[in-house]
Structure 1
Amino acid sequence: MTKCDGIYVCAKCGYELFSSICKYEHSSPWPAFTQTVHEDSVSKYAERRDALKVSCGKCGNGLGHEFLNDGPKRGQSRF
């Protein structure tokens, strides 16, 4: 997992997605974040009961999932 500070952007269009301030260690090999930079940084749609499919809010590039109730605090989601 990368340890870089700063803003993580969409690889396709460069739109701001996540800040390293909201990043935390998780058992997943992928970076984990608790929130997005902007309210419209990502778009989501239901895929499973415990997760939402997430894509860039600007260009629609696939980003992965938001896992519901799997964040560092009780009831918090993680991206």
Structure 2
Amino acid sequence: MSFCSWFKEEEYRNHFEPGLYVCVECEYELFSSQAKYEHHTPWPAFTKTVHKDSVSKVPEEGRPGALKVSCGKCGNGLGHEFLKDGPDGKMSRF
């Protein structure tokens, strides 16, 4: 899963220090740094969430193969997940 930032390059793309990534709105735990992998886009990418309900995903209207990803607790928009976007060339799964 990779995440989009529409206004600038994502500041956490090359950040690999141990820790947790949390929602900026409600501070719910989203991802562990252990699930982060290097990705070909300017956005951070993860293979799994901290909790089963850390994120919610729904198909993005008009964009086949894209899922809109939001915080599972408060609904804050986090970005998108794309088919064949995972570290092994397959869709990331949670």
For the criterion TM > 0.5, the same-fold answer is: yes
Write out aligned runs for 1:15-30 (5 A).
Answer: 15-30=28-43
Distance 2:85 2:34 in 1: 18
Partner residue, 2:69: 54
Letter in 1 for 2:74: C
Distance 1:77 1:53 in 2: 13
Q: Tell whether 2:29 aligns with 1:3.
A: no
CA drift at 1:49? 1.5
Distance 1:22 1:56 in 2: 17
Q: Is the 8 A contact 2:21 2:31 kept in 1?
A: yes
Q: Is the 8 A contact 2:85 2:92 kept in 1?
A: yes
Distance 1:41 1:12 in 2: 13
- Going by fraction, where is strand more abundant, 1 or 2? 1
Structure 1 segments unaligned to the other structure (5+ residues):
none
Query: Which of the residues 5, 9, 12 maps onto 2:25?
Result: 12
How many residue pairs were aligned?
A: 78
Moved over 3 A (4+): none
User: Secondary structure of the residue that 1:53 maps to in structure 2?
Assistant: strand
Ranked by relative contact order (alpha carbons within 8 Å, sequence separation 6 or more), the top structure is 2
User: Secondary structure of the residue that 1:43 maps to in structure 2?
Assistant: strand
For residues 5-34 of structure 1, what are the alpha-carbon distances to aligned partners after superposition, in whole Å with 9 as ceiling and x for unaligned? 211000000000011111010111111101
CA drift at 1:76? 3.4
Letter in 1 for 2:58: Y
Q: Is the 8 A contact 1:34 1:76 kept in 2?
A: no
CA drift at 1:50? 1.6
Distance 1:6 1:39 in 2: 18
Q: Is the 8 A contact 1:45 1:54 kept in 2?
A: yes
